[in-house]
Amino acid sequence: MVGETRVTLADTARATAIGVRFGADVMLEIGPSEIGEGILLERADMGERWPLDLWHSSPGPGCSISGGGDAAVHYVEHLMAALWARGVTDCLVRVDGREVPLFDGSVVPLLEMIDAAGVVETDTPIDPLVCGEAITVSDDGRAACALPGSPLSYAYALRYRHRLIGRQFANFQPTRDDFDTTLAPARTFITSEEAEEAQAAGLLAAGSEENAIVVYPDHLSEEPTLENAFARHKLVDMIGDLYLIGRPLEGRFFGFYSGHQQNHELAHALVQWCESLE
């Protein structure tokens, strides 16, 4: 969890895996950067580099996307959640393709990469963004909100028409709950109908049951290891999207049937509110 001082990596870790959206093997590399640079993203195959932050990212179909045009990189939210969980504020992320690999659909492989690289804590402070008033964004029955209060907490209410998903609720309080055991193993999920639609739209060239839990009409491809696992995975997405702000947060954050669109809107609203006080 991001603390009050800046943290980078001690070494570089690499992994290669299939990219589910575009169907090509992608090399992911996470390494150190200069303190104060923030999290940087580089397309190693194109020689382009930019900040991996809210201002260079946007919500996309089923994921968050960083960068634009031909250089855009899909599926950055799980990586951001993993960096948040280890308190990393400054690092260089390099990929040689158009997406961050999903691996098994959970954050565990990304945490393992960060742990293999090791973290370096510094004495350089980083100011938190403190939520000082209620902020809500909503759209088409979906909402995300931030409230003042402590300790920091996240909660998510999930509602799905599929009978094997239904309604789920999950909450996470970093000072009380262990990210590695309560959220990190929660895998991406997709219904078989959604998968067929994504394939038809060119958004799922190589996804399989190895990358996500597939929810069929009458069974799951794999039983989740966590209770309310699908809501827990939505919390992972929320944490990762909000960490695009690049600072620790203080407040209480809620998602109600929300997705990446609402997460990004809430992040922008939080920043705009903070800037209005300056």
> pLDDT tens, 69-79?
999 999 999 99
In sequence order, which residues have a C-beta less than 8 Å from that of residue 123 and are 6 or more positions away?
Answer: 5
Q: What pLDDT is recorded for position 79?
A: 98
Instruction: For 90-102, write each residue's pLDDT tens digit.
Output: 999 999 999 999 9
Tokens of 42: 């580089």
Tens-level pLDDT at each residue, the chain (278 residues) = 777 899 999 999 999 999 999 999 999 999 999 999 999 999 999 999 999 999 999 999 999 999 999 999 999 999 999 999 999 999 999 999 999 999 999 999 999 999 999 999 999 999 999 999 999 999 889 999 999 999 999 999 999 989 999 999 999 999 999 999 999 999 999 999 999 999 999 999 998 999 999 999 999 999 999 999 999 999 999 999 999 999 999 999 999 999 999 999 999 999 998 877 76
CA distance 246 to 62: 22
b/e map 35-67, b = 16+ CB within 10 Å: beebbbbbbeeeeebbbbbbeebbbbebbbbbb
Q: HSE-up of 87 (CA within 13 Å, CB side)? A: 15
Tokens of 51: 């900040």
Q: What pLDDT is recorded for position 277?
A: 74
- What pTM was computed for the model? 0.97
CA distance 119 to 7: 7
- If we measure between CA atoms, which residue out of 263, 256, 268 comes closest to residue 59? 263
Q: What pLDDT is recorded for position 278?
A: 62
Structural domains of the chain ordered from first start: 5-125 (3.30.230.20), 129-276 (3.30.1700.10)
Q: HSE-up of 234 (CA within 13 Å, CB side)? A: 29
Number of Cβ atoms within 10 Å of the Cβ of 148: 13
- If we measure between CA atoms, which residue out of 77, 55, 80, 81 comes closest to residue 68? 55
